[in-house]
Amino acid sequence: MTGGAIEPHALPVVDACWNRIGVRGDRSCPELASVIHCHNCRVFERAAQTLLDRPASEAYLRELTKFVAEPADTRRLSDQSVALFTVGGEGLAVATDAVVEVADARPPRRVPHRSNDVFCGLVNIDGQLELCISLHGLLGITRAPTPARATVRVLVISAATQRWVLLVDDIQGVQRFHQSSVIDVPATVRRQRPYIRGLLVADGKHYGLLDLPQICAGLQESLG
């Protein structure tokens, strides 16, 4: 390749005929009888290739050059993900690979002489009775009075061969992050929340990243 960068006006003009006579137009194109959809047409294919072959912008080239020049071990790639949810107004996060499902269920049935602030009782998930856990009780989060509901929101997790159903207030979605972006928990907060191993920021809000081994140990103790 010789000379400078190709100017945009040197590119062939793309005739977006699919917007006029194709599936997004009046469908008068004679080719539709055989190709069924414009995506299967050679004209559409050539137009797409023209767009793919267009010169990259200088801003994109600068960004890509900077990325490639960085040592691999310093790149802040979003290589992990968590499910974000709220309990008692507090934001929490758990690794997505531990999440089995999110579901609506009937309120748990208490087990006489066994239910407590952490163990709520048994809940039916897809026809199977599961142990239902209150993170309010485990984490010491104050639970505001809520009206009686026909269903509750639950997060089913699996860790270290153990399966738990956690009562939650709301599911916020999934967030990807890099380990280096995890904020250390202040010592005072760590004493109050020993099950939180770090903090993540999403949409301007802090979420406590749950320490699953500690959570599982605490849940087992609550059932003892």
Residue-range domains of the chain with CATH: 8-72 (no CATH), 80-223 (2.40.50.180)
pLDDT tens-digit readout, 48-83: 887 777 777 787 778 778 767 766 555 555 578 899
pTM more than 0.75: no
What DSSP state is assigned to residue 98? G
- Closest to 178 in 3D by CA, of 212, 206, 201: 201
Tokens of 135: 């993170």
pLDDT tens-digit readout, 75-122: 555 578 899 999 888 899 999 999 999 988 888 888 877 777 888 888
pLDDT tens-digit readout, 178-210: 877 888 887 776 776 788 888 888 888 889 899
Name 178's bridge partners.
Answer: none
Q: Give the C-alpha separation, 107 to 221, whole Å.
A: 23
| Percent of residues in the chain assigned helix, strand, coil, to nearest 5 | 30, 35, 35
Spacing of C-alpha 95 from chain mean position: 10
Q: Give the C-alpha separation, 211 to 144, whole Å.
A: 24
Half-sphere exposure of 57 (CA within 13 A, CB side): 3
Tokens of 17: 């005929």
**Single-letter amino acid code for the residue at 139:** L
Q: Give the C-alpha separation, 167 to 86, whole Å.
A: 10
Q: How far is CA 169 from CA 4, 85, 134, in A?
A: 58, 7, 11
